[in-house]
Structure 1
Amino acid sequence: MAILVVGSVAFDSIETPSGKVEKVLGGSSTYFALAASFFTNVRVIGVVGEDFLPEHEAVMTRRGIDTRGIERAPGLTFHWTGEYKENLSEAKTLKTDLNVFADFQPKIPAVYQDSEYLFLGNIDPVLQALVRSQMPDVKLVCGDTMNLWIGHFRENLEKMLKDLDVLLINDGEAKMLSGERNMVLAAEKVMALGPKAVIIKHGEFGATSFFRGGAFPGFEQSGPFRAPALPLAEVVDPTGAGDSFAGGFYGYIASQPKLTPAVFRRALFYGGVMGSFTVEQFSTTRLETLTRAEIEDRFKLFVQLSHLEQDDEQA
């Protein structure tokens, strides 16, 4: 099974209480693809500039990620500058240089047309809808968004949401999109816009999934499910944690022969596992050295924390 992901491939300059780095590898597609690659095949669509060197691309290709969909354009690669102060759950954007990303028009190579799964990374909803329209036969479509699109491009976002199966957003985005402060009511209103399921991320407190009644076969009796986050002694760099969560979650789903409630629950935990590794070092560094054995060992910690296996036996 293969996941096609469209989003940003970028450079980040980041400062946290643990230190400062300049122009390191980042971008929603990059983190997502690296995390998902531990579970299934991944194909990336994006755009980079002339400063994106072979060693940057090799970070992905060493993990077996198909980068033929990354376009090379004259100019510089998208560059985000941000900092985290006392609150590591919230980044402060200092500067955004869109560069070649400003004119990004996703092009789907013919060899990607047989992708079974599609992930629409956090980009303009018009571009998300464009890609979705070109992939009508995928088994499942999952996507992300942010407060910028919710607040200023809501009409376009709502059009995109009508063709989405699963939406991943954080607490604040769920409240902003729905106009509700209560999480249950917020999820219901978001799903009324189109998604069959919504996953609301709570940062260091895990994530909660909600399902629209009858949306997925076999999920008729599935209510909300809460997956905790693993307590960590130190967080070096939170950048990319949400995208890594999405990659782990969706990568695991794509690796399984059938989508069931038990698979969905386990996928949430694998998402948490991948996010927890990402924050241990700056940029993609930890994902570059990670092994599947380490992933499974940490997954066992999540199981112990939540008694997940007992729940799955009853599913």
Structure 2
Amino acid sequence: MSTGSARSTRTGAPGPDRPWTSGSSTPIGWPLPRPRPSSRSSWSGISPVPPTNIAASVPHILVVGSLAYDDVETPFDRRREVLGGAASYFSMAARMYAPVRLVGVVGEDFAESDLDRLRAREIDLGGVVREPGRSFRWLGRYNYELNTAETINTDLGVFSGWEPRVPDGFRDSEVVFLANIHPEVQLRTLEQIREPRIVALDTMNYWIERERAALLTVMARADIVTVNEAEARQLCGTHSIIRAGREILKLGPRAVAIKRGEYGAVLFTRDRTFWAPAFPLEEVRDPTGAGDAFAGGLVGHLARADKIDDAALCTAVLHGTVCASFAVEDFSVAGIEKAEAEGVARRMRELGALVAI
């Protein structure tokens, strides 16, 4: 399986004691009627599996990112015009843990049936707008290793120049995931959230190379950063993953998860380094959204925790690898779309047996 190391060839940092707080568009979607999360007291432990029911007290997760159509080619098969985008994969994973609110943009050509697939998983699309023009499209190809995607073509469409507007009803979201978009846009989006308890973000090589200053600024505002191996090395100018993880921590985040594809992921905190294996699969069909599904499982698990300590973070990384394993079993979002909490629980038990001595 892959935790998403594949990436296409496409105001002051907080101190060590910082707490875990931090026109033509037409709205689509509908606000889901959910109670406001209640205040929670001490957390009694780490659950190795996601509950099958989402309690009203679980905070909402806000994701800001892309909804897209992908053309994906592997040595074994090809799919055209399939649902993709970071926000799609993340939401399909995170919805098994907590209620999800999505902020994104689609074009006139985006099928209502694809939005219905997200609605069917109780993902709140009240922050998605439809604008004149074409939807974001990506065409990529994988070789037999399935770890690196070669970008054949990218058409940003309405995603180019999009400025996210977080609806008033979403601004109380306690957990925020800033998917791979321009770091200045990530920062402006974050400033629209009132009092986030957890902020996680993803980025890519393009922003590391071209928007480094803005990226470092928003990283200093994040609690958790997810990157793949190549991005970690590029960001820190080192071949060593261990050195890169520790250097990223110095930029401000409280935790860094480096995605290593079929080799799992490694978590860095100030006090711990945790090497998580990938969930073993005999067949991987499409790794395109693995990294975003990984983030969905990781952030989803943390959304349920009243206390974010190293044990919770390590468990969250394992949830991320399990969600990624579902994502890569089929093309597009089909694998993670079919996943349910019971299946995640089963794979968490199997993964736990692998890491136990």
Report if the CA contact (8 A) 2:171-2:194 is conserved.
no
For 2:214, the equivalent position in structure 1 comes to 156
Residue among 238, 246, 252 paired with 2:301 = 252
Report if the CA contact (8 A) 1:10-1:27 is conserved.
yes
Report if the CA contact (8 A) 2:172-2:194 is conserved.
no
Query: Matched residues in 2 for 1:198 and 1:275: separation?
Result: 17
Q: What secondary structure is seen at the aligned counterpart in 1 of 2:215?
A: helix
For 1:200, the equivalent position in structure 2 comes to 258
Q: TM-score, normalised by structure 2?
A: 0.82
For 1:302, the equivalent position in structure 2 comes to 351
Structure 1 segment 16-35 matched on structure 2, within 5 A: 16-35=74-93
Q: Deviations over 1:162-209 (max 9, x none)?
A: 111110001111110001222222112212222121111111101111
Query: Matched residues in 1 for 2:262 and 2:160: separation?
Result: 32
Residue among 187, 190, 200 paired with 1:132 = 190
For 1:169, the equivalent position in structure 2 comes to 227
Query: Matched residues in 1 for 2:190 and 2:142: separation?
Result: 34
Report if the CA contact (8 A) 2:293-2:336 is conserved.
no
- More helix by percentage: 1
Report if the CA contact (8 A) 2:272-2:310 is conserved.
no
For 2:329, the equivalent position in structure 1 comes to 280
Query: Matched residues in 2 for 1:178 and 1:256: separation?
Result: 31
Q: Deviations over 1:30-55 (max 9, x none)?
A: 10011000010110011001111221
Query: Matched residues in 1 for 2:337 and 2:64: separation?
Result: 20
Whether 2:279 is the aligned partner of 1:230: answer yes
Query: Matched residues in 2 for 1:210 and 1:167: separation?
Result: 10
Whether 2:173 is the aligned partner of 1:115: answer yes
Query: Matched residues in 2 for 1:12 and 1:75: separation?
Result: 17
Report if the CA contact (8 A) 1:150-1:157 is conserved.
yes
**Which is further off, 129-138 or 166-175?**
129-138
Report if the CA contact (8 A) 2:269-2:310 is conserved.
no
Q: What secondary structure is seen at the aligned counterpart in 2 of 1:103?
A: coil
Query: Matched residues in 1 for 2:177 and 2:210: separation?
Result: 22
Deviation at 1:286, TM superposition (A): 1.5
Whether 2:134 is the aligned partner of 1:76: answer yes
For 1:191, the equivalent position in structure 2 comes to 249
Query: Matched residues in 1 for 2:337 and 2:243: separation?
Result: 39
Q: What secondary structure is seen at the aligned counterpart in 2 of 1:258?
A: coil
Query: Matched residues in 2 for 1:159 and 1:268: separation?
Result: 25
Q: Which runs of 5+ in 1 are unaligned?
A: 213-221, 311-315
Q: TM-score, normalised by structure 1?
A: 0.93
Q: Deviations over 1:54-85 (max 9, x none)?
A: 21001111111000101110111100000101
Q: What secondary structure is seen at the aligned counterpart in 1 of 2:122?
A: coil
For 1:215, the equivalent position in structure 2 comes to none
Report if the CA contact (8 A) 1:17-1:236 is conserved.
no
**Which is further off, 47-56 or 284-293?**
284-293
Q: Deviations over 1:76-133 (max 9, x none)?
A: 1100000101220000000000000002100000000110001110000010011111
1:226 alignment partner AA: W
Report if the CA contact (8 A) 1:78-1:99 is conserved.
yes
For 1:291, the equivalent position in structure 2 comes to 340
Report if the CA contact (8 A) 1:126-1:156 is conserved.
yes
Query: Matched residues in 2 for 1:184 and 1:282: separation?
Result: 32
Whether 2:310 is the aligned partner of 1:261: answer yes
Query: Matched residues in 2 for 1:153 and 1:103: separation?
Result: 15
1:59 alignment partner AA: R
Q: What secondary structure is seen at the aligned counterpart in 2 of 1:229?
A: coil
Residue among 210, 218, 225 paired with 2:268 = 210
For 2:38, the equivalent position in structure 1 comes to none
Report if the CA contact (8 A) 1:168-1:201 is conserved.
yes
Identity of aligned residues (%): 41
Deviation at 1:136, TM superposition (A): 4.4
Q: Which runs of 5+ in 2 are unaligned?
A: 1-58
Query: Matched residues in 1 for 2:316 and 2:256: separation?
Result: 14
